[in-house]
Chains A and B, each alone.
Chain A
Amino acid sequence: MKKTKIIKVDYLARVEGEGALYLKIKDKELTDVKLKIFEPPRFFEAFLRDRDYTEAPDITARICGICPIAYQMSAVHAMENAFGVQVTGPLRELRRLIYCGEWIESHILHAFMLHAPDFLGYQDAIQIAKDHKELIENVLRFKKTGNEILTLLGGREIHPINVKVGGFYRVPHREELKSLQDNLKWARDFAVEAVKFVAKLPFPDFERDYEFVALQHPDEYPFNEGRIVSNKGLDIDVSQYDDHFEEQHVKHSNALHSVLKERDSYFVGPMARYSLNYDQLPKVAKDVAKEAGLGETCSNPFKSIIIRCVESLFAVEEALRIIESYEMPDQPAIALEPRAATGYACTEAPRGILYHRYRVDEKGIIQDAKIVPPTSQNQKTIENDLWAFVPEHMDQADDQLQWQCEQAIRNYDPCISCATHFLKLNVDRG
């Protein structure tokens, strides 16, 4: 007799937003994988219409409380692209600095509070703290270092208020930025320890041949600028995004899956960024990565946790570099004139590339908006990982298999709140 087994998680924990997992196993054969999304849609692209261009960074920040800077950065760069201006010099550096803050805050939140508990067999970081108090105290202090950058430069950690099209409302004095240095120097040392710690976690032997997609810049590890490239030959200007990527409707899922038109699913996020931009990392980050057993590329998504820590170390180094060489600009923002145009931008959110496109009229009123967050791009790759992972681990007990599948999903640090306005709503709670 054939035996059918259903493994489901009605409410995925330790991810941002509301999602569920459904696996169907028929006679030891995996027959269905669904990463369900039941987060209600919020219609951002719709209500961005008829709003003023100056409002785009503040409104789109509200798509995600974990990576608001990513939304603000993609929004301001897209508007500046539409108006034919470019922010350079110290203002450009300050934008990289605020992104450093978000990477640290978001990466450390995910690596230690959301992902590490899976590797260590705890339900959450607070449980870890009961056995390893000093570790979690240091982790929280590290995370706070990122938030301190956001608070100083952005006004507050979540939905910062100081980012505007053209620059900032207020730029800091040299001395203000220098006040961040001591904690960042502490964080630099701890980041090295953090990489060493996560490198020792037990990793499932799991690799796939991914198409990695990330920004690439000739001179720097990417935040706000660069071409969109892949390890399988993609190399395009950001304005060509819509020619190469599309959202597909798939029968078995309620989700829209973003795919490359020429090929298929692809992978965005720290592992893609690292594998495509290894050369641009500072020496200390390369050395620590090597010591952690990473090569110049990595194809085991479970090891994303190591890369998040390596990138956090990079972000600390980059923040210290920017602070050290900072000269306060004369003006907090450059002058710009709205014009009727379409603007494009792609920046590297902690979870991967975040694409914004706006069409504005001659007064700068938004006529049309398109936003593609990283999680909707990784959606299909996550499901494909499970299709490959589950058959190899079929003989485990259900609860163990379920937990490992959750861990495999968390490899991507999925942000369902971000993805939702691109996913068709499924209200069936399983």
Chain B
Amino acid sequence: MVQGKKPKLAVWKFASCDGCQLSLLDCEDELLAVADSIDIASFPEATRAFKKGPYDLSLVEGSITTPEDAERIHQIRRQSKFLITIGACATSGGIQALRNFKDVKEFISIVYAHPGYIQTLKHSTAIADHIRVDFELRGCPVDKMQLLEVINAFLNGRKPNTPAHSVCIECKLRGNVCVMVAHGTPCMGPVTHAGCNAICPSYNRGCYACFGPKETPNIPSMGNVLEDKGMERENIVRAFRSFNANTKAFQKGARDYEKD
């Protein structure tokens, strides 16, 4: 980065709910300080102002679902020194990737009266399936403190501190009683990427894996435990096939329990 010049930030949206970019505006205590130290060059949800690229850092929200977006992401990559995906849609294809396991034509006809007008790709895919990505931040939505950490790290040329271990570790660090061991509540925590600070178990609920798979998850073992807790096969398929359905690990988990 040029000395004395504020780094340029751009926020881009693809198929998504806007929640991950909203996380930035939800940093009520830090927002003005962030805006002081970076140049918000493009962030349509927050400002009419727009500055042309190149950008020092691009944050990308949402998944690729249309032919136009599959093109647009390449243009954004070309203008971005660093490009980070924020959230489950951009990092794994998101909840809309459920179409990947069904006939998308049938999907269109369920929602729209004139399916002919709809132009959409058969699959919803992660940004990294299309371009090189410098870092992927997980979560549906992302955790806002992790988002600040990642922005900070990239602007200062260091590696973000976002552990890749499981939600179980966060539960232990928080001192939670294990909902699965103590109450028999099915919980995806053992295979789910950390980052939320184990919110669901802290609210007496099993983790539902909105941060996607952790590094090296043991999927068959997870399936066995869920079965052991009395979960029906269809519900195990649903548990893997949700907000991060298109990840390799969860695809396998769902397939293992799907009826032929």
Residue from A18, A46, A51, A109 in contact with B106 in the complex, judged by beta carbons closer than 8 Å: A46
Docked Cα-Cα span, A47 to B19, in Å, equals 20
**A159 CB–B CB distance under 8 Å:** yes
Please, which residues of chain A bring their CB within 8 A of the CB of B69? 40
**A140 CB–B CB distance under 8 Å:** yes
Inter-chain contact B110/A113, CB cutoff 8 Å: no
**A156 CB–B CB distance under 8 Å:** yes
- Given A43-B99, A158-B22, A332-B204, A124–B199 Cβ distance below 8 Å? no
Inter-chain contact A16/B48, CB cutoff 8 Å: no
Docked Cα-Cα span, A188 to B205, in Å, equals 33
Please, which residues of chain A bring their CB within 8 A of the CB of B45? 13-16
Docked Cα-Cα span, A45 to B48, in Å, equals 32
- Given A42-B15, A42-B65, A55-B238, A162–B32 Cβ distance below 8 Å? no
Docked Cα-Cα span, A117 to B47, in Å, equals 9
Inter-chain contact B48/A124, CB cutoff 8 Å: yes
- Given A46-B106, A126-B47, A425–B117 Cβ distance below 8 Å? yes
A369 and chain B: residue at smallest CB distance: B110
**A74 CB–B CB distance under 8 Å:** no
**A313 CB–B CB distance under 8 Å:** no
Inter-chain contact B113/A249, CB cutoff 8 Å: yes
**B127 CB–A CB distance under 8 Å:** no
Inter-chain contact A14/B200, CB cutoff 8 Å: no
**A396 CB–B CB distance under 8 Å:** no
Inter-chain contact A45/B111, CB cutoff 8 Å: yes
Inter-chain contact B208/A43, CB cutoff 8 Å: no
Please, which residues of chain A bring their CB within 8 A of the CB of B235? 52
Docked Cα-Cα span, A429 to B49, in Å, equals 19
**B129 CB–A CB distance under 8 Å:** no
Docked Cα-Cα span, A213 to B114, in Å, equals 28
**B35 CB–A CB distance under 8 Å:** yes
Please, which residues of chain B bring their CB within 8 A of the CB of A125? 46
**A293 CB–B CB distance under 8 Å:** no
**B1 CB–A CB distance under 8 Å:** no
Inter-chain contact B202/A155, CB cutoff 8 Å: yes
Please, which residues of chain A bring their CB within 8 A of the CB of B48? 13-14, 117, 123-124, 406
Inter-chain contact A41/B95, CB cutoff 8 Å: no
Docked Cα-Cα span, A41 to B66, in Å, equals 9
Please, which residues of chain B bring their CB within 8 A of the CB of A105? 26
Inter-chain contact A124/B47, CB cutoff 8 Å: yes
Inter-chain contact A47/B95, CB cutoff 8 Å: yes
Inter-chain contact A17/B203, CB cutoff 8 Å: no
Inter-chain contact A417/B18, CB cutoff 8 Å: yes
Docked Cα-Cα span, A129 to B25, in Å, equals 14
- Given A16-B45, A62-B17, A425-B117, A42–B200 Cβ distance below 8 Å? no
**B153 CB–A CB distance under 8 Å:** no
Please, which residues of chain A bring their CB within 8 A of the CB of B204? 169-170, 332
Inter-chain contact A155/B95, CB cutoff 8 Å: no
0/1 per residue, B193-225, Cβ < 8 Å to A? Answer: 000100110111100101000000000000000
**B79 CB–A CB distance under 8 Å:** no
**A282 CB–B CB distance under 8 Å:** no
Inter-chain contact B196/A156, CB cutoff 8 Å: yes
Inter-chain contact A425/B120, CB cutoff 8 Å: yes
Docked Cα-Cα span, A62 to B18, in Å, equals 9
Docked Cα-Cα span, A123 to B44, in Å, equals 10
- Given A13-B47, A45-B110, A46-B106, A254–B203 Cβ distance below 8 Å? no
Inter-chain contact A14/B47, CB cutoff 8 Å: yes
Inter-chain contact A158/B46, CB cutoff 8 Å: no
Docked Cα-Cα span, A87 to B249, in Å, equals 39
**B192 CB–A CB distance under 8 Å:** no
0/1 per residue, A54-75, Cβ < 8 Å to B? Answer: 0100110011111010000000
Please, which residues of chain A bring their CB within 8 A of the CB of B144? 157
- Given A64-B17, A65-B19, A417-B17, A147–B107 Cβ distance below 8 Å? no
- Given A40-B15, A140-B32, A155-B203, A427–B119 Cβ distance below 8 Å? yes
**A144 CB–B CB distance under 8 Å:** yes
B96 and chain A: residue at smallest CB distance: A42
Docked Cα-Cα span, A31 to B235, in Å, equals 54
Please, which residues of chain B bring their CB within 8 A of the CB of A147? 26, 28
Please, which residues of chain A bring their CB within 8 A of the CB of B15? 39-40, 42
**A161 CB–B CB distance under 8 Å:** yes
Residue from B35, B44, B95 in contact with A11 in the complex, judged by beta carbons closer than 8 Å: B44
Docked Cα-Cα span, A159 to B66, in Å, equals 25
**A49 CB–B CB distance under 8 Å:** yes
Residue from B95, B104, B118 in contact with A425 in the complex, judged by beta carbons closer than 8 Å: B118
- Given A65-B20, A417-B18, A427-B119, A124–B49 Cβ distance below 8 Å? yes
Residue from A11, A65, A123, A155 in contact with B199 in the complex, judged by beta carbons closer than 8 Å: A155
Please, which residues of chain B bring their CB within 8 A of the CB of A427? 66-68, 119
Residue from B14, B35, B113, B238 in contact with A126 in the complex, judged by beta carbons closer than 8 Å: B35
Closest CB of chain B to A355's CB: distance in Å?
15
**B177 CB–A CB distance under 8 Å:** no
**B260 CB–A CB distance under 8 Å:** no
Inter-chain contact B16/A254, CB cutoff 8 Å: no
**A257 CB–B CB distance under 8 Å:** no
| Other 18 A-B pairs with CB < 8 A, given A40-B120, A425-B117 | A13-B46, A15-B45, A40-B65, A43-B107, A46-B102, A46-B110, A47-B98, A62-B94, A62-B140, A63-B17, A64-B17, A65-B18, A123-B47, A126-B35, A155-B203, A415-B18, A422-B111, A425-B118
List the 10 closest pairs (A to B, CB-CB), nearest first. Answer: A65-B19, A124-B47, A46-B107, A144-B28, A123-B49, A47-B98, A140-B28, A169-B205, A46-B110, A42-B96
- A-B residue pairs in contact (CB < 8 Å), sample of 28: A13-B45, A40-B15, A40-B69, A42-B124, A43-B111, A46-B108, A47-B95, A47-B98, A47-B102, A49-B110, A63-B17, A64-B17, A64-B18, A64-B19, A65-B19, A65-B22, A109-B25, A113-B25, A124-B40, A140-B28, A147-B28, A155-B203, A156-B199, A161-B199, A169-B200, A170-B203, A424-B112, A424-B117
